[in-house]
Amino acid sequence: MNGRLALFTFGVFAKPADDPANDGFHVRNDPILAAVPLAEGYLGRSGYPDEPGPDMWGEYVFPHFCEERGDGWTPQTLSLWQDLESAMAFAYQGLHGEALHHGREWFEPPQWPPYALWWVPENHTPTRREACAKHLHLHEHGAGQQVFTFRQPVSPDGTPVELNGQKIKQIATRNAARLAAASKTG
């Protein structure tokens, strides 16, 4: 099966969303969302309720173990990528990679996987409900052919693969150049 890589991320703030402890997250959020479309291998992402941007991919739902605390905002993303290396280069390098280094400042230590990956057919756009189901499957059963992590990646046909570190570095370098060029013209 040829496919596209779906990536779902999920976190729970340790303090209410608008607490000053989360200011570092909020300051980085818009620049990161602006950088995503410039990333090599990026194919699209689901939008958010009541915010301008891309359309939502289904109803905005949360994993079943998420405890709503009344602040109405628990960060999650759902995006599509061309391949594993492109998704990993964006996630762990550049603005997003820098933000990951601060995650412990903002989020509860997860009792669940912080993200889930799975392959989808070319003509399929995953929904948030599907993402939550994949995330739950990863949490309950671990990585496998249906859903996996960057540490245990599989190809679209379900066979284990190794990530190409050199390709990831090259993509990250090109992403940085694209972002720098865009900031000069923007």
Q: What's the rounded Cα separation, in Å, for the pair 86 and 89?
A: 5
One digit per residue, the tens of pLDDT, for the chain of length 186 reads 578 999 999 999 999 999 999 999 999 999 999 999 999 999 999 998 878 889 999 988 888 777 766 676 788 999 999 999 999 999 999 999 999 999 999 999 988 999 999 999 999 999 999 999 999 999 999 999 999 999 999 999 999 999 999 999 999 999 999 999 998 886
Which residue has tokens 């390098």?
93
Q: What's the rounded Cα separation, in Å, for the pair 96 and 100?
A: 6
What pLDDT is attached to residue 139?
Answer: 95
Query: Left (φ > 0), alpha (ψ -120 to 50) or beta: where does 142 sit?
Result: left
What pLDDT is attached to residue 186?
Answer: 63
φ, ψ of residue 82 in degrees (nearest 5):
-70, -35
Read off the DSSP letter of residue 36.
G
What pLDDT is attached to residue 63?
Answer: 83
DSSP labels for 81-115? ESSHHHHHHHHHSHHHHHHHTTHHHHBPPPSS-SE
What pLDDT is attached to residue 60?
Answer: 84
Q: Which of 20, 77, 18 minimizes the C-alpha distance to 44?
A: 77
What pLDDT is attached to residue 69?
Answer: 67
